[in-house]
Structure 1
Amino acid sequence: MKAVVRTRSLPGLLLALLLAALTVLSAGSPPASAATSVSTVAEALRKSPVYVDPAASAQLSSADAHALAEQIKHADKPLFVAVLPAGYPTANLFQNLRTATGITGLYAIRLGDRFDARADSSVLPRTAVQNLVTSVQGEKNAKTQLTDFTHGALTNMGGSAPSSWGSSSGGGGVSYTALITAGAVLVAGGAGVYTLVRRGRRRRAEEQRAALDRLRVVVDEDITAFGEELDRLDFHPAEAGADDAMRADYERALDAYEQAKSFMAAATKPEDVRAVTQALEDGRFSLALLTARREGRPLPERRPPCFFDPRHGPSVTDAGWMPPGGAPREVPVCAADATRLADGRDPVVREVDTDQGRRPYWDAGPAYGPWAGGYFGGGLLPGLLVGTMLGSMMATPSYAADYGSGYGDFGGGYDGGDVSGADFDPGDFGGGFGDGGGGDFGGGGGDFGGGF
């Protein structure tokens, strides 16, 4: 189901901005007694991505907090960072803060010298959150820890920053002159805001095109390789011994080849690539059936393609494999790679171009999710890729159910930055402080109970 997006006319947008500004100005500053309440923290985070509690100001200077906030805003990601004092109440803190803020995103909290994070699964999978938190857990300096976490999070997370960032609240009492002046400034700047929104959309569209261009090189190689397989087959429907079943297999393989070329020509975003690789996989299985019929062998069962390179064709068995730093698992492999692994040699891995040079496709970034999903459908791929970059990104429930429905910055799967209020999955923000984010904040001693 596609989300319904309502667009406003420019006058309507300007009016909404004016009313919002008048509301903020008339509200004034919150009372000092509420300085550390969850609602106060949430109100601050709706206006800026970084909040430092006055009682924790020694941990992160105003200049460092401002620099961190600017980095997050510049990346256009829904990352929220709060620095709180060590004695801050932790019961259900993440869930309550997410409810009060009401914005889909990634929430990171430094509490004294402890750190943890939670996220809506549509923005960043729980496994990815755990890995990011663990990677900075040993850093005692708040600036270093938050900077490193922010850098890793912005690289991996999806979604866009909320539109509320950048607004500012007024001081204490506000005169009608100030209200009128603020309204006039907003009306005058409304056209500029509208222009910025359109510019952001254009930028994301350009990112989509750039990702598709990089992905197109890999897909074209796959299509070419399949075409070469068809040529090497040297099958003629009228040849001696050919029967209707063989001709049907061959026709399905030819149809898959033409479909793959057609789907790729019509692709406008990386998600569209899933249909291409799915067609290629269907075609390769048809060729496997045809080959078995021609050679008088039993027909092969339908299996996923070789994990290491889908161009190797359908797998024939499962073999043990462990990515660097990951846990061992069984992956589907072709006969040649099964032999290599049995002999203690490395399999022939599909590598693609990245900014860091040639890398295996599972370490090449989010655009390859739809590409891999077309080959490994049915919920298989996340289990195969646990512990890899791509596997962490693909661990969201919505993406596991339908690869290519939205991935990172490349489509409509992420709703980060959207205002959802209290309508979110509490499981994404549950657990004790450190239980869900991957940290160790009490050695199992229960210092934070069951609800950060």
Structure 2
Amino acid sequence: MTRYLRLLGTLALVAAPVLAASPAHAATPTPTPKPSKPPTSRPTYKYTQPRYTPPDIEGDRQRAQAAAETYMNGVAAKLGDPGIWVDPAVTRLSSSEVVELNRAVRSAAAPMRIAVIPASAIDTAYKSTYSYSSRVRLAWTGEEIASQLYDRVGVEGVYAVLVDASSEAKGRGFHAVQHADKGPTYHVGDAVDEAVDCCAPDYDAILTRFIQRAQLIDKPFYIDAAPYAGGVAGLAVLWWGGTTLSARRARRSDEKQHLEVAVPVLNEEIIGLSQQVSALPATSDPQQAKLSQEVLDAVEKARHRLDEAKGDDDTAAVATLLGSARYGLVCLAAVRAGKPIPEPTPPCFFDPRHGPSTTAVEWAPEGGTDREVRVCAACAAKVAAKQEPDIRMVTLRDRPRPYWTLGEELASYMDGYWTMGDGTRWWFPDQDARRAGEAMRSRWGSRRPGARLSRFSDDLSTAMSSRSSSSSWSSSDDDDNDSGSSWSSGSSRRRHSYSSRTRSSGGGSSRRSSRRSGGSRGF
């Protein structure tokens, strides 16, 4: 405690002189207000925002198109006669080379007019002041560039335009076309391909090779093939004759087997029908006598036709005659009974010997499905009574079978019975028999030379289409992989050409002559 008191005393002794030396605080004076200045007016500035005018892109393109057409008119004026004209802006051809090329063009067999122009002269792409885009849009593309020159000159011949640029992406390419209504056709398209493939990008070499190739006449194929046409025609005739003979022999072999089955069946029916006709009573009624004579004539014709039968056509005709004879017997019975003559109907399905059918019933063969068949009255009664009808059985290889199961051997038998004398055919109810007959006739037709040629052409077209589809898939894959570099690399692929049949504005030709040949390549 004593120590703290001593410390306070010491501090008081030190602070006393300092406080005594400091002056006393004076009172704060009141500030005097300053006189106010009159307000001054500030100048007013009026700001006018400049109006924005959008670029006239479409108008610029139209003006560029008009400039390109005007330029092409000037080029055409330089080529009134066959020759070559090089724009002074193109520096890749020397004057001596131009002289030699012009001499070659004038001495060529084909009338040629060739122009070498810069791509900028026919470029219609929009160029903005603030944009540095290098995109090129030519006024015309492909063969149409050369056709535009033809439109303005108006003389038939070969026209070629070499567009000068630094690369294909900038518009560099070679385009040529031949317009003519008369005269020979020249190898213009092949000349363009050959010139670009061998010599690009050397302008002098390209044009020299084109002039040499484009004046060669493109002869029709038949002229070159004429020396060989005789031999080829002879071989074709021999093949056609041999194939026809082979097809006939194969059909005759099949028909010979059919005759072995059908002739005994028809001969049996002719004998039975002859006995039935012979038992007819004599009559003095003219109508009955006429019907009896028609039946007798039909049976006699069937007998003679069967004796001379050589194929299915003969047996079918015999069956048709027998069906007509049986229909005549039904008509004769109706006249005798004083009834009207019935309409012709197909024969009884179970046995054609029963005569024309009278009604339709539902019937199913053993192991088959129900079907509607037209039958005679006796067979209809048996079917209604759940009895087995009398079916025409034919023995083949010591085995009796229903006649409709022999769809190939007795196809002519069924066709003949289900055909009227005027050629009208009825529908045969058994589907398996119809299919067997159709398959047989299809086999015969496929052996003919015309059918073989048709199959060969179909197989060839199928193979070519499958090959082209596979190549298109592979090429599309390549295009997908290389799409980014196809333009920049300056590839020599064929560019799509455009050819118009309409006359361009400012042209010198009232109409275009026929396009004979042409080609277009970028490089």
TM-score (norm. length: structure 1): 0.43
- Which has the higher relative contact order, 1 or 2, with Cα contacts under 8 A spaced 6 or more apart? 1
Higher Cα Rg: structure 1 or 2? 2
TM-score (norm. length: structure 2): 0.37
